[in-house]
């Protein structure tokens, strides 16, 4: 059964998060592959790497466990961009990066409930990746659907700690594990 080990006990939320991140990487690659040269994101392209980014505590714990050198005694990158960027704009915690970083740059698609009670679809993409077919012409599967993964991530956070607790990435620097 998903979320349980062979002993029938609930799996560690951080271990489950690692599996979720691997699944996200596979799904994001499938979306990215549909866009060929449209996606201009590459190592050093850090325009979306916001300084004030916060993540759920469970994702912060994954960073602590999987990239401790960057949270114990290392200096954060300059204020104004993500604290984990190196001098060349590369991510120093790439393998342990949070969910939001794994889908940046992709065409996004989400549904919102309007005030009148109707559902409306919205789409967006990084301005650097805007050249190409209009977002409204893309098939649903050519966009990253916001909602399903966020729900799974929120459920993991609820099992890990306070359901809405978030941690600033910059705050991970200098912590003692």
pLDDT in tens, 33-50: 999 889 988 777 888 888
Lowest-confidence region among 3-12, 71-80, 159-168? 3-12
Rounded Cα gap, residues 26 and 35, in angstroms: 15
pLDDT digits (tens, 9 = 90+) for 95-114: 999 999 999 999 999 999 99
88-96: list long-range contacts, CB under 8 Å, 24+ apart: 88/43, 88/44, 89/43, 89/44, 89/45, 89/46, 89/49, 90/43, 90/44, 91/49, 92/67, 93/63, 93/66, 93/67, 95/66, 95/67, 96/62, 96/63, 96/65, 96/66, 96/67
State the distance between the two ends of the chain, measured CA to CA, in whole angstroms.
Answer: 31
């Amino acid at each position: 059964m998903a979320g349980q080990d062979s002993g029938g006990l609930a799996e560690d939320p951080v271990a489950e998060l690692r599996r979720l991140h691997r699944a996200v990487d596979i799904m994001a690659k499938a979306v990215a592959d549909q866009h060929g040269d449209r996606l201009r994101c590459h190592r050093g392209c850090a325009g979306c790497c916001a300084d004030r980014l916060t993540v759920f505590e469970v994702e912060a714990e994954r960073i602590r466990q999987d990239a401790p050198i960057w949270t114990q005694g290392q200096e954060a990158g300059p204020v104004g961009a993500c604290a984990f960027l190196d001098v060349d704009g590369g991510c120093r915690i790439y393998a342990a990066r949070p969910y939001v970083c794994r889908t940046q740059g992709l065409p996004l698609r989400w549904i919102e409930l309007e005030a009148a009670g109707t559902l409306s679809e919205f789409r967006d993409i990084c301005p650097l990746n805007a050249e190409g077919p209009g977002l409204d012409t893309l098939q649903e599967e050519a966009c990253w659907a916001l909602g399903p993964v966020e729900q799974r991530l929120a459920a993991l956070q609820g099992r890990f700690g306070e359901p809405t607790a978030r941690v600033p990435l910059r705050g991970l620097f200098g912590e003692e594990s």
